Structure 1
Amino acid sequence: MKRVEMTERPDWKADAEVCGFTIHSIYGERYWDERHAYEFTLTEIEEELEAPSEELMSMCYRAVDHISADRGLMRRMAIPDDYHDAVSASWKRRDYDLYGRFDLAFDGNGPAKLLEFNADTPTSLFESAVFQWRWLEDMKSRGHLPATADQFNSIHERLINALRSVKTWLGRMHFAGILDSEEDLVTIDYLMDCATQAGWRTTRIDMRQVGVDADHWFRDLRRRRIKRLFKLYPLESMVREPFGHHLPLTSTRIMEPLWKLTLSNKGLLPVLWEIFPDHPNLLPAYFEDDPRARRLGDAHARKPLLSREGANVTLVRGGENAYSVEGPYGEEGYVVQALHMLPRFGDDWAVIGSWIVAGKSAGIGIREDDTPVTKNSSRFVPHYILGA
C-alpha cells in the first residue's frame, strides 16, 4: 500500500455534477480529492482487507447472538429497555440487513485493525461505489494509469443483487431520510437507483413526513401503507423519539433492522474483544467502567457508545489528552479502546472504509484528514490495484 501523486483531471468537477455527485465539495473545501491515490497489490486486497472484513462480519453476527440474548448487556449498551424484546425478535426473524462499513487502520504492514463498525446509515457510499470507479476508468482511458489497473469495488453490483433478493416480498420500497441534507439525499437517490435496477418501484419521503396509522403501519404522504422502508436515519435516534414506540409493533419491514442496534454502537467493540480475545484484527476494548480497562494504561481512545463522524472521541497518550473532537454525544457512556493510530501518508491520516453488502465484503473507500480522527469533513481519495 502506498500513496501515489496523480494528475488531477481538469474537468473532474463537471464530471461529478453530471453523475449526481453534488457533494464533491463541502463547506467550501474539496471533499473529493484526486491529487493522489492509494495503490494496493492484489494480495493486500484479497488477504489483508477482503478476507478479514468477511471474518469480522461473521464475528459481528456472533456478537448479535450474544448481545440480543443478554438484557443486562443491552442495557449497558444503552439500548432502551422497551426495545430489548423487539431487538431479540428482529434477530430471530433474521430481518434483512443491507449494508455497513468497517473503519480499518491499515498501512500494508501487519493486520488491519478494526476501529469501529458503521452498521447503520453509513454514507460515502456513492463515491465509493460509483465515482471512484468512474475515476479509474477515466484515468485509464487518458493513459494516466495502466490498462491493467483494477479496483476493489463490487459495491454497486452487490447492492443491486441484494435488493433484488428481497424483491419477491413486496413491490414498493420507500426511502426516507432528512432530505434537506445534501449528503443524505445523494445516498438515498443512489440507493433508489439501485433498487429501481433491482426491479422495485420506489418512493422518496422525508423522514419527518412518515406517518403511522392505528395499526402501527408506517404511511407516506398519500396515506399508503409503507410495506418496505429503507431509512437513512439512526436507529438510536428513532428509539428515543415518540415515533419510535411504533417500531416494535409495526408490520412495516425496515432496513436497517432493529437488531442492528447491537452493532451500531461502540459497545460492540468490548463485546467482540470478550468473545474473540487476541484476534489479529481486533484491538483490546472495554466499557469505561470495567476495571479491566486499566489494562490499557495511559494510551487509549475514548469513544462514546453512540456517536458519529468522530464526535466526542478523545485520543489519550502518556495519560494526557493528545487530541479530541467536540460534539453532542457521550451521555449514554463510553468505551475505551487500545490506541492504534491511523497510518500517516505525508501530512494526512488515512482510514480505510471496508464495505459490507448483505454480509459480504464488497469494496473499499479511503478518507483522509489532517488530524488523526476522521470527521464528516475528511476528504475522500480513490484507490487502485496494480500487481499481484
Structure 2
Amino acid sequence: MKRITLPARPDWRDKARAVGFGFHVMYGEPYWLDDAAYTFTLDEIETQIEEPSQELHDMCMDMVGDIVGSEEALDRLAIPEDLRDVVQRSWQRRDRHLYGRFDLAYDGTGPAKLLEYNADTPTSVFETAYFQYNWLTDQMALGALPKDADQYNSLQESLVEAFEQFPKGPIFHFAVMTDNEEDRGTTVYLMDCAVQAGHRVELLDIREIGIDAEGRYTDLQDRVIDRCFKLYPWEFMLREPFARELARSGDVFIEPAWKAVLSNKGLLPLLWQRHPNHPNLLASYFADDPAASALTDYVRKPLLSREGENVTIFRDGREFVSAPGDYGDEGFVVQAYAPLFESEGGFAVLGSWVVGDRACGLAVREDRSRITANLSRFVPHVIID
C-alpha cells in the first residue's frame, strides 16, 4: 500500500458535473481528489482486504440470529424494547438485504483490522463504483497509469445483480432526505442500478411517506409502497412517530430491520467475545465491562455514532483526540486503538464493500484527523503489480 500523486484529469470537474457528482466539493472543501491515488498489489487486495472482508461478513451474519434472540444483547445495543419484534421478525423472515461497508484500519504491514460495519446506510457508493472506475480508465488512456493497471471494483455489477434478486413489483421506491446532496446522489445512483435490473423506480423524500387507513405506507400519489430502499438509519426509524406501523409493514424496507444490529457499534464487543484474538478484530468491550480497563491505547465510540461524532482516542490512558457530536446517551464501546495508514495526505481508512453476501470493492477515504469525519476526502485506488 502506497500513496502516489499524478496529474489530475484536465476535465474531471466537468465530468463530475455531467454525471451529477456535484458533491465533489463539500463544506467548502474538496471531497474527491483526482491527483492522488492509493496503490496496492493484487496479492495485497486478495489476501489482506477481500478475503478478510468476506470472512468478517460471514462472521457478522452468523451473529445476527443470536443477537436478535437475546434480550440481553438487544439491551446492550439499545434497541427500543417495544420495537424489538420488528427486528426479530425481519430476521425470522430472512428479509433480503442489499449492501454494507466495512471500515478497516490497514497500513500495509499487518492484518486489516475491523473498525466498524456500516451495514445500514453506507454512502460513497457512487464514488466507488462509478467515478473511481472512470478515473482509472481515463488515467490509463492518458498514460498516467500502466495499461495493465486494475481496481478492486465489481461494485456496480454486483449491485445490479443484487437488485435483480428483488421481486419486480409495480414501483420500487427510493426514499432519502432529498435536500442532502450526497445522500440524494447516492440514492439516485442506486436507483439507476435498480433500473438496469429491470425495476420501475420512484424517488421520494422520506418525510413524504404517508400511512393509509389500513396502516400501509404510501407515497404522495397515495400509491402503496411495497418495496422501499431508504437511505435513513434504522436507529432513527425505530424512534420515529410512524415506528408503530413498522410491525405491520412486513419486508417493505431495504436495508431490513435486522441490519440495525450489525450497524451498531455494540456488534464489536460481541464479535470479540465470540472470536477472541481473531487477526482481523480489535479487542472490544462495552464501556462498563471491567475488562475494558486493561486497554491503555483505545478508542471510545457511541453505539450509534455517525461520521466520527463523539469518538475519542486515548493514548496511554489519556485523552488524545476527540470529535464533537450529539451521541453517547445510548452508551459506548471501547476498542483497542489501531493506527491508520499515514502519509502527507493524512490518515487513510479503507472501506471494503459487501453486496448481498459477497465482498466486491474498495473505497479509500483520508482525513487530516485520526478520526475520519464528514470532511474526509475520497481518494481513488489502483492495483499495480
Normalising by structure 2, we get a TM-score of 0.98
Seen in structure 2, the aligned counterparts of structure 1 residues 175 and 2 have a Cα distance that, compared at 3 Å, is same
How far apart are the structure 1 equivalents of 2:162 and 2:224? 23
Contact 2:90 2:250 in 1 (8 A): no
Q: Secondary structure at the match of 2:228?
A: strand
In structure 2, the partner of 1:256 is: 255
Residues 1:185 and 2:165 aligned together: no
Pairs aligned (count): 385
In structure 1, the partner of 2:101 is: 101
Cα displacement string for residues 235-280 of structure 1 (whole angstroms, at most 9, x for unaligned residues): 1001111111111211452101010111111000001001111110
How far apart are the structure 2 equivalents of 1:40 and 1:339? 24
Contact 2:173 2:228 in 1 (8 A): yes
Q: Secondary structure at the match of 1:368?
A: strand
In structure 2, the partner of 1:383 is: 381
Runs of 4 or more consecutive aligned structure 1 residues displaced over 6 Å after TM superposition: none
Contact 2:309 2:325 in 1 (8 A): yes
How far apart are the structure 1 equivalents of 2:151 and 2:137? 10
How far apart are the structure 2 equivalents of 1:251 and 1:348? 44
Contact 1:7 1:35 in 2 (8 A): yes
Contact 1:300 1:336 in 2 (8 A): yes
Q: How does 1:7-26 map to 2 (within 5 A)?
A: 7-26=7-26
In structure 1, the partner of 2:206 is: 207
Q: Secondary structure at the match of 1:23?
A: helix
Contact 1:227 1:251 in 2 (8 A): no
Q: How does 1:144-163 map to 2 (within 5 A)?
A: 144-163=144-163
Given candidates 308, 313, 319, the residue that maps to 1:315 is 313
In structure 2, the partner of 1:130 is: 130
Cα displacement string for residues 86-109 of structure 1 (whole angstroms, at most 9, x for unaligned residues): 212111111011001000011221
Shift of 1:299: 1.4
Cα displacement string for residues 261-320 of structure 1 (whole angstroms, at most 9, x for unaligned residues): 111110000010011111100000000011111121x21100000110000000001221
Shift of 1:137: 0.3
Cα displacement string for residues 366-387 of structure 1 (whole angstroms, at most 9, x for unaligned residues): 0001110111110000000011
Contact 2:150 2:384 in 1 (8 A): yes
Given candidates 327, 332, 336, the residue that maps to 1:338 is 336
How far apart are the structure 2 equivalents of 1:344 and 1:241? 40
- Segments of structure 2 that go 5 or more residues without pairing to the other structure are none
Given candidates 304, 310, 315, the residue that maps to 1:306 is 304
How far apart are the structure 2 equivalents of 1:44 and 1:6? 22
In structure 2, the partner of 1:273 is: 272
How far apart are the structure 1 equivalents of 2:317 and 2:345? 25
In structure 1, the partner of 2:239 is: 240
Q: Secondary structure at the match of 1:245?
A: helix
Q: Secondary structure at the match of 2:268?
A: helix
Give me the identity figure in percent. Answer: 52
Shift of 1:347: 4.7
Q: Secondary structure at the match of 2:123?
A: coil
How far apart are the structure 1 equivalents of 2:348 and 2:341? 6
How far apart are the structure 1 equivalents of 2:384 and 2:77? 42
How far apart are the structure 2 equivalents of 1:262 and 1:368? 27
- Segments of structure 1 that go 5 or more residues without pairing to the other structure are none
Q: Which amino acid aligns with 2:255?
A: E
How far apart are the structure 2 equivalents of 1:215 and 1:279? 49
How far apart are the structure 2 equivalents of 1:286 and 1:199? 44
How far apart are the structure 2 equivalents of 1:295 and 1:250? 45
Shift of 1:10: 2.0
Shift of 1:4: 1.0
Normalising by structure 1, we get a TM-score of 0.98
In structure 2, the partner of 1:354 is: 352
How far apart are the structure 2 equivalents of 1:342 and 1:110? 11
Q: Secondary structure at the match of 1:14?
A: helix
Q: How does 1:285-296 map to 2 (within 5 A)?
A: 285-296=284-295
Q: Secondary structure at the match of 2:178?
A: coil
In structure 1, the partner of 2:323 is: 325
In structure 2, the partner of 1:91 is: 91
Q: Secondary structure at the match of 1:247?
A: helix
Q: Which amino acid aligns with 1:300?
A: Y
Contact 1:167 1:199 in 2 (8 A): no
